Amino acid sequence: MKKLFTILLVALMVQISFAQEEKIEEKDPMQTIFTKDNLKFTGGFIAPEIKVSDVHEDISLLVGGSIGFTFNDNFTIGLAGSGLTTNSNFNIPNADPLLDDMSARVGMGYGGLLLEYTMFSDKKIHFSIPVVVGAAGIYVYEDDGDFFYDQFNEIENSAAFVVEPGVNIELNLFKFFRVGLGASYRLIEGTDLVNLTDEDLSDLSFNATFKFGLF
């Protein structure tokens, strides 16, 4: 009987101890990986961007930009996108050998989530590693020599997945203005086109970025 009383007493004390700990834990705030102490908003920017890249073996110009919000002076999250602004021409073989091949051109735009890490951002010259993950829209038009009229001569189109990692050298020209020069690789996957493949649209780009904002 004495042993039973001792066991019940110990069990009661343990329950009371756990109950006290639960009450203490309930009063404590929820624990999270990111808090206002270790993740501080430190700025943001708007950045027009120019890219030179091969699209279907044709040197092309893409123009776009990004908007981002920076935390702890080095991690940025935002949105980015680019669009093909020049003709990327190629020939589509005609099924009838007696007829000439059809002249066509590529239309392409893509964009999505921007994640960027900047190293030594307070130095005059520093590095950044941006990654864009999102979707692309690819169009094939019949090329009649008129860039705007060709939009009405669509042959086919497709959506696709795109990821574009890169690396830039950035220069702090002013406290509100940075210039970045670098390169990225545009990887496009999942196109459903007859006349173009993923490899035709994936390639290295050389980029110039102009960041305006609070750094």
pLDDT in tens, 121-179: 999 999 999 999 999 999 999 887 665 655 668 899 999 999 999 999 999 999 999 99
Same domain for 47 and 25: no
How many CB atoms are closer than 10 A to CB 180?
A: 22
Find out whether 106 and 88 touch, Cβ atoms under 8 Å: yes
Same domain, 146 and 199: yes
The two tokens of residue 105 are 């051109």
Q: Which structural domain, as residue segments, surrounds residue 149?
A: 41-214
| pLDDT of the residue at 34 | 72
My answer on whether 199 and 94 are in the same domain is yes
Do 122 and 161 fall within a single domain?
Answer: yes
Do both 180 and 88 map to the same domain?
Answer: yes
Name the band, by pLDDT with cuts 50, 70 and 90, for residue 96: low
CB distance 130 to 145 below 8 Å: no
Question: Above 80 in pLDDT, residue 19?
Answer: no
Q: Please give the share of the chain, as a percent, with pLDDT higher than 90.
A: 63
The answer to whether residues 20 and 96 belong to one domain is: no
At residue 57, the pLDDT reads: 84
Summarize pLDDT for 105-116 with one digit per residue, the tens: 999 999 999 999
What distance in Å separates the CA atoms of residue 175 and residue 173, rounded to the nearest whole number? Answer: 7
152 inside domain: yes
pTM: 0.80
Residue ranges of E strands in the chain: 41-54, 59-71, 75-84, 89-92, 102-119, 125-142, 154-174, 177-189, 203-214
Distance (Å, rounded) from C-alpha 31 to C-alpha 25?
10
CATH number at 93 reads 2.40.160.20
Q: Could you give the number of structural domains in the chain?
A: 2
pLDDT digits (tens, 9 = 90+) for 32-42: 777 777 788 99
| 37 C-beta neighbours (distance < 10 Å), count | 6
96 shares a domain with 18: no
Residue with tokens 């305006």: 212
Asked which of 6-10, 49-53, 108-112 is least confident by mean pLDDT, the reply is: 6-10
Instruction: Determine, yes or no, domain membership for 156.
Output: yes
Task: Say how many CA atoms lie within 13 Å of 41 toward its Cβ.
Answer: 6
In a domain, residue 5? The reply is yes
